[in-house]
C-alpha cells in the first residue's frame, strides 16, 4: 500500500528480538537455563562469563582497559564497557547498545554476541525468555522486567486514545484539505490538540509528517485504532516503556508498530512510533 511505503521510508525501524514460540528441544540438544538477564533500552544484557562459557568461548577480562575478549574457533570479539564500539576479528562495528557493569557484574548484549559466535537467538516477549540455540544446546535466559505503575491495559488505553485523537483531528481537517483551504495555522492548531498525548519533540519532528500523509490517505483513519490486536511489553522502567503491537494482516503481510512512552511531569506520553512489516 502507498501509505505503508511512505511511512516505512520515513521510519527505518529495528525491532529487538525475533517474536515466536520457544524452540523445540531435540534429543541431541541439552538445555541450559541462566538467570540474571536484564533489559536496558530495549536490549537484553546477560552476565558476560555465564554466556561466553556456556557457548564454549574463552573469556579474557582486562580490568585496566575495561575490555572483554571472547575467543571461539576462528572468531574473536572485543567489547569495551560503556562503549558501543566492538571489534570482531579486527573489524570495528558499532552497536546500538553498550556492555555495562550492573550490580558488580559485567553485562553484554546477548543477541549480538550469540549470533557473532554462530548461535541463533529467539525472544519470547510473553515469557520474557531469550533462547540462544546452537547445534547441541538451547540456552534459556530469564530476563528481569522491572514493573512500573502502568499495566498493559493502561498502556493500551494511552495508545488507543492517541490514535482516536488522530482520527478526530484528521477527520476535522479533511474538508479544508479537500477544498485546498488548509492553512499552516490550522495545522498548528491540530498539533496543539495532540499535546498531553505525545511529547513536544515527537509532535514537532514526526507527528505532523504522519498527519500530512494521513490526510492524503483518508481511508487510513477508519482502521488505524480499531485493529490493535495484541501487545508485548519489550522493556519497562520507571521512566520509559517500549511496547510492541500487532495491528493487522493484509496482502502486504503483518503490519506492526512499536511505541515508546516516556514519563514527563508525572504523565506518560508517546515519544516515538516505529512501523514495521
* pLDDT tens, position by position, 179-219: 889 998 988 999 999 998 999 999 988 888 878 877 887 66
CA angle 88, 11, 226 (to 5 degrees): 130
Question: Do residues 44 and 101 share a domain?
Answer: yes
Own/partner long-range contacts of 55-62 (Cβ < 8 Å, ≥24 apart): 55/113, 55/114, 55/117, 55/119, 55/132, 55/134, 55/139, 57/117, 61/106
Average pLDDT of the residues of the chain: 77
Q: How confident is the model at residue 6 (pLDDT cuts 50, 70, 90)?
A: very low
Q: At a CB cut-off of 8 Å and minimum separation 6, what does 225 contact?
A: 160, 163, 164, 166, 167
* pLDDT tens, position by position, 62-121: 888 888 888 888 888 999 998 989 999 999 998 878 888 887 778 888 888 888 888 888
Most confident of 1-5, 169-173, 273-277: 169-173
Domain hosting 78: range is 30-144
* pLDDT tens, position by position, 148-168: 667 777 888 888 888 888 888
Q: How confident is the model at residue 276 (pLDDT cuts 50, 70, 90)?
A: low
Question: Do residues 179 and 64 share a domain?
Answer: no
Question: Do residues 50 and 121 share a domain?
Answer: yes
In a domain, 244, yes or no: yes
Question: Do residues 66 and 161 share a domain?
Answer: no
Do residues 39 and 234 lie in contact, with contact meaning Cβ atoms separated by under 8 Å?
yes
In a domain, 2, yes or no: no
The better pLDDT of the pair 141, 249 is held by 141
How much is the pLDDT for 107?
Answer: 85
Total structural domains in the chain?
Answer: 2
Q: Which of 55, 51, 81 is nearest to 68 (CA)?
A: 81
- DSSP state string for 80-106: ETT-SEEEETTEEEE-SS--EEETTEE
pLDDT at position 15 over 50: no
State the distance between the two ends of the chain, measured CA to CA, in whole angstroms: 12
How much is the pLDDT for 28?
Answer: 59
68 by DSSP, 3-state: which?
strand
Question: Do residues 79 and 183 share a domain?
Answer: no
Question: Do residues 129 and 170 share a domain?
Answer: no
Question: Do residues 36 and 74 share a domain?
Answer: yes
Question: Do residues 157 and 207 share a domain?
Answer: yes
At which of 113, 144, 175 does a domain end?
A: 144
The answer to whether the predicted template modeling score (pTM) of the entire model surpasses 0.85 is: no
Q: How confident is the model at residue 12 (pLDDT cuts 50, 70, 90)?
A: very low
Question: Do residues 122 and 179 share a domain?
Answer: no
Amino acid at each position: 500500500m502507498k501509505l505503508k511505503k511512505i511511512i516505512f521510508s520515513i521510519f527505518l525501524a529495528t525491532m529487538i528480538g525475533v517474536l515466536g514460540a520457544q524452540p523445540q528441544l531435540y534429543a541431541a540438544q541439552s538445555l541450559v537455563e541462566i538467570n540474571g538477564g536484564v533489559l536496558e533500552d530495549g536490549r537484553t544484557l546477560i552476565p558476560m562469563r555465564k554466556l561466553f562459557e556456556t557457548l564454549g568461548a574463552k573469556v579474557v577480562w582486562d580490568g585496566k582497559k575495561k575490555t572483554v575478549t571472547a575467543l571461539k574457533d576462528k572468531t574473536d570479539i572485543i567489547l569495551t564497557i560503556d562503549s558501543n564500539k566492538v571489534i570482531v576479528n579486527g573489524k570495528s562495528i558499532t552497536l546500538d547498545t553498550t556492555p555495562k557493569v550492573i550490580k558488580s557484574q559485567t553485562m553484554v548484549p546477548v543477541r549480538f554476541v550469540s549470533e557473532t559466535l554462530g548461535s541463533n537467538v529467539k525472544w519470547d516477549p510473553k515469557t520474557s525468555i531469550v533462547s540462544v540455540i546452537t547445534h547441541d544446546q538451547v540456552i534459556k535466559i530469564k530476563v528481569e522486567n522491572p514493573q512500573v505503575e502502568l499495566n498493559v491495559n493502561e498502556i493500551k488505553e494511552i495508545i488507543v486514545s492517541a490514535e482516536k485523537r488522530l482520527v478526530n483531528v484528521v477527520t476535522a481537517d479533511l474538508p479544508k484539505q479537500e477544498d485546498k483551504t488548509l492553512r499552516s495555522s490550522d495545522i498548528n492548531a491540530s498539533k496543539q490538540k495532540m499535546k498531553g498525548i505525545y511529547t513536544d519533540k515527537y509532535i514537532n519532528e514526526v507527528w505532523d509528517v504522519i498527519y500530512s500523509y494521513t490526510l492524503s490517505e483518508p481511508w487510513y483513519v477508519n482502521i488505524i485504532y480499531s485493529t490493535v490486536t495484541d501487545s508485548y511489553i519489550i522493556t519497562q522502567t520507571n521512566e520509559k516503556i517500549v511496547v510492541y503491537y500487532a495491528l493487522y494482516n493484509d496482502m502486504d503481510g503483518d503490519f506492526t508498530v512499536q511505541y515508546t512512552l516516556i514519563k514527563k511531569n508525572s504523565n506518560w506520553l508517546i515519544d516515538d512510533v516505529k512501523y514495521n512489516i
